[in-house]
Amino acid sequence: MNLDRLALPSFSEALHAVYEAALDSDHWPVALSRIGRIFDADGAVVIFYSGDAQADFITCDELRPAVEIYQAEGWWRHDLHAQRAIAQNLADGDVFSDLTVATPDEIETHPIYVDFFERVGFGCLMSAVMLPDLDMLVGLSVPRAKAKGFFDRNDMNLLSLISRHVEQSLRISLRITHLEASEAALTTAVDSMDACIYALDDAGGIAFANASGLARFADYFLPGEGRIVPREATERASFRALLDEGSGGDVRASPRSCVISGADGSRLAVWAMPMTDAARGLLTVRDSATTLLFATPVERRDMIDPAVIRDIFDLSLGEARLAALVGGGMEIRDVAGRLGITEGTARIVLKRVFRKLGINRQAQLVLQLSQLAQFRTLRAGGAPGRSG
């Protein structure tokens, strides 16, 4: 990756806007517009992949006319990128572009390129897949004019980094958007979330906690410390590193989750992100609040969160989604059907997961994921990797 681009004002401005959108979805158009500028493009969109159905979008103002044409004319039926996103993600990683998703002949002849793209002024496109919730596969897509050339590997690496920040922000934003339809105030909506939300100052003191955060605090953190400290001593260093990164540390590193353990052995996945002035105002917290924490159980709806599996075991998102299903006891044929891929592709990806984890049987994968979800089992059986 060209690290010089991370120092550009356009990069820091884009990340700031992305995190402003976490608590106020009205900021998404500006955030997506600023992401586009990083790549000399008019903007970006978030697309919600929906298989054979009409796709939904979050878009910037500059790309809204193109999105409206896409939806009105049913271009999702002919969209190579959207149709191949899942298989491409499983085969080649979390970011793909024209040169990885289409053949040279398709780029010259396929209707999505020679009709839709030409009419709306697109020449090329790259996308990164994200998973802001268990089964919510979405893409961050950046189109730009043909004269500016295809996206290269540096562009794709940078989009991969940005997409992890967008994914973090969407974890909160999408839940709030869902709740605010019936809730009058943001703080009421945040209190209604089943996830834990904490706003922290530099010392780790709690400036704000929602109802779930207050209810679960004593299970996972030490009481009476005046700051947020995990109960389990072996997890405190990784948690402190998470806070340091989340408050605006090294922008070159992808945001990652940290796993902490409760008194009963259950585990929480925690993500950290910087607090913006807008976020402090919306939550009515003091100016010293610098970090926003979001936490959910590692295991929900009988499934280990694939985003946590990705972070802990250094897998691609596609590999982690497959591992979560196989590790949950699902037969490989059913996993393939669930993910919309062939059984052969599923087996190839599973072998890759086994190789990365140093195992060779499904039973071993089930054991490693059960250890990730339950701390008592993990202490008895040995750590599957790092805990944060």
**Judging by beta carbons within 10 Å of its beta carbon (0-12, 13-18, 19+), is residue 231 exposed, middle or buried?**
middle
Which pLDDT score, from 0 to 100, does residue 304 have? 94
Name the pTM for this structure. 0.92
pLDDT at 383 > cutoff 50: no
Mean pLDDT of the residues in the chain: 89
| Residue 22: band (very low, low, confident or very high) from pLDDT cuts 50, 70, 90 | very high
Tell me the percentage of the chain whose pLDDT exceeds 90. 70
Closest by CA position to 94, among listed 44, 170, 161, 32 = 161
Which pLDDT score, from 0 to 100, does residue 378 have? 39
The DSSP 8-state label assigned to residue 256 in this structure reads: -
Domain extents for the chain? Answer: 3-180, 186-297, 303-381
| CATH fold for domain 303-381 | Arc Repressor Mutant, subunit A (1.10.10)
Are 3-180 and 186-297 equal in CATH topology?
A: yes
CATH 3.30.450.20 for the 186-297 domain, yes or no:
yes
Rounded Cα distance, 195 and 366, in Å: 25
**Judging by beta carbons within 10 Å of its beta carbon (0-12, 13-18, 19+), is residue 140 exposed, middle or buried?**
buried
Tell me the percentage of the chain whose pLDDT exceeds 70. 92
Rounded Cα distance, 250 and 254, in Å: 9
The DSSP 8-state label assigned to residue 314 in this structure reads: T
pLDDT digits (tens, 9 = 90+) for 42-67: 999 999 987 666 789 999 999 999 99
- Per the model's pLDDT, the better-predicted residue between 165 and 188 turns out to be 165
| CATH fold for domain 3-180 | Beta-Lactamase (3.30.450)
* CA 23 vs CA 70, 203, 279, 289, 385: distances in Å: 28, 23, 6, 15, 32
pLDDT at 168 > cutoff 90: yes
Enumerate residues 6+ apart whose C-beta is below 8 A from 77.
Answer: none
* Residue 118 contacts residue 28 (beta carbons within 8 Å): no
